[in-house]
Amino acid sequence: MGSALLYEYRRAVTLRTTWIFLLIAFAMGGLTTWAQYYISGADNGVGSYNIGLLLTRVTSIYQLTVFVIASFAALSWGHEYRFGLNRLTLSVFPRRWTVFIAKTVGIIVFSSAAWLTSAIGGTLLLFSVDSKHVVDYSLGVVNSTENIGDGRDPKLVMEHIVAWHWLGRSLAFVVVFSLIVGAVTALTRNLTIALIVPNVMMLFAENVLVLVGNFASAATANVMNQVLPFVNGQRFADWSTGSAQGQTASASVPTMQSMTVYLSWAMLLLIGAGISFQRRDA
Amino acid sequence: MPSARARSIRGPVRGLSAGCPQSRRGNSSGAHGWHTVKDMRVVCDRLTKDFGNFRAVSSLSFALNAGEVTGFLGPNGSGKSTTMRLMLGLDTGGGSTTFDGKSLNAYSNPAKIVSAHLDAKCFHPNRTARNHLRMVAAASGVTHKRVDEVIELVGLESVARKRPKGFSLGMGQRLGLASALLSQPQVLMLDEPANGLDPQSIAWLRDFVKDYAADGKVVFVSSHLLSEMELLATHLVVIGRGTLIADESMEQFVSRSTRNDVFARTPAAERLMQALAAEGVTAQAADGGVAVAAASTEQVGAIAFTNGIELHELTARKASLEEAFLELTSDTQEYTMERGH
């Protein structure tokens, strides 16, 4: 397994595309955060800086950057088929599960790294436009609004620890989305389909389905809301949803159900992709 | 003449060896976990592959032995590449292939057992040649030093840091070959390796492959260049429409051709043919003389002498591999071209 992981690592780092994606993720994180900073008008004056607003900025970048981040997952599998590299890969690693697991791990690691890069990009850009406060709030945990501007050392305020999980949710959404895109690529062996279908599903198709379901009956729409992957994924990661639910630990209960649905879809697709990868000709 | 193992395509290379250090007739698992096998034998047993209703490979069985270059011949669409992929487990199908009695999956480092070059364009166009090889090297525990050695061996030094998207077919072949040679495998499988190579490189490849086999390795090469194969292989596996036509030495295969005959040039061709017929030997007028099938020069000479027939030339004509191949696979051509088009 070690050599398969090393192979996957080398595959990723020796491609310029990988670094370009990271750069784009960084830039997009910065730009979207910067845009939100002005659009939302979050800086309501010293002391009123709300940790929730900052987290909204940082976590909401997933909605845009996820496309870029997940493209890596698509290319991870897509290049294998597009350039015939799968024959080379599988002649070196005849145990196909090894390759499949290494690729899955690679996608998880890269999407996490790209998410972090994106978040750093967002934080740095906020810092550049409002350095006075952003450092304190950069990860939204080590300060409370009471500390702002009072000259005291930052201190950890336990009630804000709960905010961590919103960052975690954003990360989880991005990673699972990447796994879905990767699985779709492995299943279809088609880069274009893998790049388009999940994104179209998330942005349009599922919303249309729910809308159509609404026309049928409220129950139908409710079922769709309960079972569709990206509706649930977004519900899980969306800070504003959580905010509406009170921004407390208890708010995580319904969204954890959403995560279960979202993750189940990812696992289902991954298992399908794994079986397909195991059985089909290279 | 220096060994091809110590020469790159462009000339001698110091300290280079294509042979696996522990393949020198050792039989142990080294500290690196490399599995080495004395006299590796590859056995393909009833390999079968269907594409829908079309049977591409049908119960194909043959064996490859260490120390031999085995040529793999067959008309277009006969199933050569599919067979190679089946052997490597790249395609799923019936039958099995064992390497020294074990499936490839059973080895801890399969790259040390078998390595293949199946496609001249099997690389990412934007990953440099060196990085491509370093990636493959990572899979088999090969050092970067070895990567540089192999780059030098196949003559890619000048383009090692370039992206291969602009590589010619020949350059792609070299990169693929370098990739296959990285791990110094016990079994080397090459699918049409000479395609696109210039004559100098083909000559280098021939010497290299021969030396590689002479080092106790198994070499399995498919090629459409029959004249090249004639110089390269000592053993042949010939298939047609997915079935085995021949699994024998080059000499045996060529001797099966009816093109092997004795040619006699004489001013009395008619008399010679009558004399041969009287002895039960089949002969016919050809090429301004007499072509005698299934007879030796001694026999023909003796009959001519006995009958007082003057001979100006008496030659044993041996069919070329190409002639034998065309003759013996004529019934299995999947795709044929009309003459004159």
pLDDT in tens, B59-73: 999 999 999 999 998
Provide the CB-side half-sphere exposure for B276 (13 A, CA): 28
Residue B86 in this model has a pLDDT that exceeds 70: yes
Greatest pairwise CA separation for chain B in angstroms: 75
Which of B:126-155 have CB within 8 Å of A? 126-128, 131-132, 134-136, 138-141
Residue of A nearest to B84 (CA): A91
Range of weakest confidence among A28-37, A271-280, B124-133, B211-220: A28-37
pLDDT, position A29 = 75
What is the length of chain A?
282
Residue A183 in this model has a pLDDT that exceeds 50: yes
pLDDT, position B222 = 93
CA angle B81, B86, B87 (to 5 degrees): 100
Q: At what angle do helices A2-13 and A62-82 cross, to 10 degrees?
A: 110
SS percent in chain A: helix, strand, coil, step 5: 85, 0, 15
Q: What is the DSSP string of B121-168?
A: T-S-TTS-HHHHHHHHHHHHT--HHHHHHHHHHTT-GGGTTS-GGG--
How many angstroms separate the CA of residue B299 from the nearest CA in chain A? 54
Residue of B nearest to A94 (CA): B105
Q: What is the pTM of this model?
A: 0.77
d(CA A229, CA A45): 39
Q: Is A83 on the interface with B (CB under 8 A)?
A: yes
In chain B, domain spans: 4-248, 261-317
In angstroms, what CA-CA distances link A267 with A68, A264, A272, B59?
Answer: 21, 5, 8, 38
Which of B90, B103, B175, B190 is the best mutation test for A, with the most CBs of A within 10 A? B90
- The residues facing B54 across adjacent strands are B51
d(CA A102, CA B56): 32
Q: Is A103 on the interface with B (CB under 8 A)?
A: no
Residue A132 in this model has a pLDDT that exceeds 90: no
Residue A247 in this model has a pLDDT that exceeds 70: no
* Mean pLDDT score of chain A: 75
Q: Which residue has the higher pLDDT, A133 or B92?
A: B92
pLDDT, position B69 = 93
In angstroms, what CA-CA distances link B89 with B83, B119, B182, B204?
Answer: 10, 16, 20, 30
* Mean pLDDT score of chain B: 82
d(CA B339, CA B341): 6
> For A87, which of B109, B122, B132 is closest by C-beta distance?
B122
Q: CB A199: neighbour CB atoms within 10 A?
A: 18
pLDDT, position B33 = 37
* Token pair for A251: 């708010």
SS percent in chain B: helix, strand, coil, step 5: 35, 25, 40
* Token pair for B209: 């492959």
Residue A146 in this model has a pLDDT that exceeds 70: no
In angstroms, what CA-CA distances link B280 with A261, B10, B261, B277?
Answer: 87, 56, 15, 5
Q: Is A164 on the interface with B (CB under 8 A)?
A: no
* Token pair for B99: 């390497």
Range of weakest confidence among A23-37, A43-57, B85-99: A43-57
Range of weakest confidence among A116-130, A244-258, B109-123, B129-143: A244-258
One-letter amino acid at B73 equals L
pLDDT, position B221 = 94
End-to-end CA distance of chain A: 20
pLDDT, position B246 = 86
Q: Is B86 helix (H, G, I), strand (E, B) or coil?
A: helix
d(CA B306, CA A274): 78
pLDDT in tens, B215-229: 889 999 998 888 888
pLDDT, position A279 = 87
In chain A, domain spans: 2-279
d(CA A198, CA A39): 28
pLDDT in tens, A39-66: 555 444 443 445 555 555 555 555 667 8
pLDDT, position A37 = 63
Which helix (H) or strand (E) segment holds residue A229: the answer is helix A229-237
Residue B337 in this model has a pLDDT that exceeds 80: no
pLDDT, position A160 = 45
Q: Is B85 on the interface with A (CB under 8 A)?
A: yes
Task: Identify the architecture of domain B261-317 in CATH.
Answer: 2-Layer Sandwich (3.30)
> At which residue do the structure tokens 């166009």 appear?
B125
Q: Could you tell me what percent of chain B has a pLDDT over 90?
A: 26
Contact between residue A158 and residue A70 where contact means Cβ atoms under 8 Å apart: no
CB contact under 8 A, B125 and A11: no
Which helix (H) or strand (E) segment holds residue B46: the answer is strand B41-51
Contact between residue B257 and residue B319 where contact means Cβ atoms under 8 Å apart: yes
Q: Is B111 on the interface with A (CB under 8 A)?
A: yes
pLDDT in tens, B293-307: 878 889 889 998 999
Label the pairing between strands B54-65 and B94-99.
unpaired
> For A95, which of B91, B105, B126 is closest by C-beta distance?
B105
Chain A residues within an 8 Å CB radius of B179: 88
> For A94, which of B110, B135, B136 is closest by C-beta distance?
B110
Contact between residue B260 and residue B252 where contact means Cβ atoms under 8 Å apart: no
pLDDT, position A166 = 65
Residue B7 in this model has a pLDDT that exceeds 80: no
> At which residue do the structure tokens 């597009």 appear?
A82
Which of A90-99, A152-161, B44-53 has the largest mean confidence? B44-53
CB contact under 8 A, B126 and A4: no
Chain A residues within an 8 Å CB radius of B128: 14
One-letter amino acid at A66 equals V
Mean local confidence (pLDDT), A227-249: 64
Task: Identify the architecture of domain B4-248 in CATH.
Answer: 3-Layer(aba) Sandwich (3.40)
